[in-house]
Amino acid sequence: MNYSTSQLVNFEAIMYMILGMGEPTVKVHTERKIKCKRRVCGTVSIVTEPEDKMYRISFFKRRRLGDNTSVPFGYK
């Protein structure tokens, strides 16, 4: 994350996403993202191109309870 991303994805934005009071996702646009691209002939080239990234809350390994706490799956 860089400075401009940290202005959009901060504690308050994540808190509002968890509590369901704000937008469910935050879209971040980066003008110059350095990427490695593989060519057909097997060589690798370094390119700089724009990128859009979506940040959202996911609970793939945890289960949320009614009081907004979370426990691991299988917890009794």
Query: What pLDDT was estimated at residue 73?
Result: 83
Cβ-based neighbours of 23, under 8 Å, separated by 6 or more: 16, 17
Three-state DSSP state, 60: coil
Query: What pLDDT was estimated at residue 57?
Result: 84
**Would you list the domain boundaries of the chain?**
3-72
Ranges in the chain, pLDDT < 50: none
At residue 6, φ and ψ (nearest 5 deg) are -65, -20
Query: What pLDDT was estimated at residue 51?
Result: 92
Q: Give the integer Cα–Cα distance in Å for 31 and 58.
A: 26
